[in-house]
């Protein structure tokens, strides 16, 4: 499968879509940012810089300080694929983020979304 189209998508272009999805479900931008920071290791300033610099998903994840070690606990189906079985590590990170956003949108408690 050619994932290059996904990798070249601008993170700042998708970020507002995540916010809109969550706000329609009663969640907040702050909760989204918390989830992104948890997954990637960015602090708020670093996250905002990636958005302001309009980096693509590939760069966003390559520059991320450290993938949370508990990310491996993210399981389930997203876009028809089991996230824990995705072999392409970059695509797996993208789908981890999608899965976390979906869990927030479905009303899952933050403590469970963050695998605490």
pLDDT tens digits along 45-70: 999 999 999 999 999 999 999 999 99
Using the Cα atoms of residue 14, residue 20, residue 34 and residue 110 in order, give the sign of their dihedral. negative
DSSP state of 77: E
Query: Tokens representing 86?
Result: 């995705």
Conformational region of residue 42, where left means phi above 0, alpha means psi within -120 to 50, and beta covers everything else? beta
pLDDT tens digits along 23-52: 999 999 999 999 999 999 999 999 999 999
Degrees to nearest 5, angle at CA 81 with 90 and 75: 80
**Structural domain containing residue 105:** 4-113
How many domains does the chain contain in total?
Answer: 1
We report the CATH number of the domain holding residue 104 as 1.10.8.290
pLDDT of residue 1: 59
């Amino acid at each position: 499968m050619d994932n290059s189209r996904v990798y070249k998508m601008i993170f700042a272009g998708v970020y507002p879509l995540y916010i809109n999805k969550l706000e329609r479900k009663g969640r907040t931008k702050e909760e989204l940012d918390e989830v992104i920071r948890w997954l990637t290791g960015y602090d708020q300033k670093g996250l905002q810089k990636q958005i302001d610099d309009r980096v693509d998903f590939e760069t966003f994840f390559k520059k991320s300080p450290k993938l949370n070690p508990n990310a491996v606990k993210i399981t389930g189906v997203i876009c028809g694929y089991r996230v824990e079985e995705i072999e392409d590590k970059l695509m797996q990170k993208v789908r981890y983020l999608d899965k976390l956003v979906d869990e927030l949108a479905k009303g899952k408690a933050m403590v469970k979304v963050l695998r605490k």
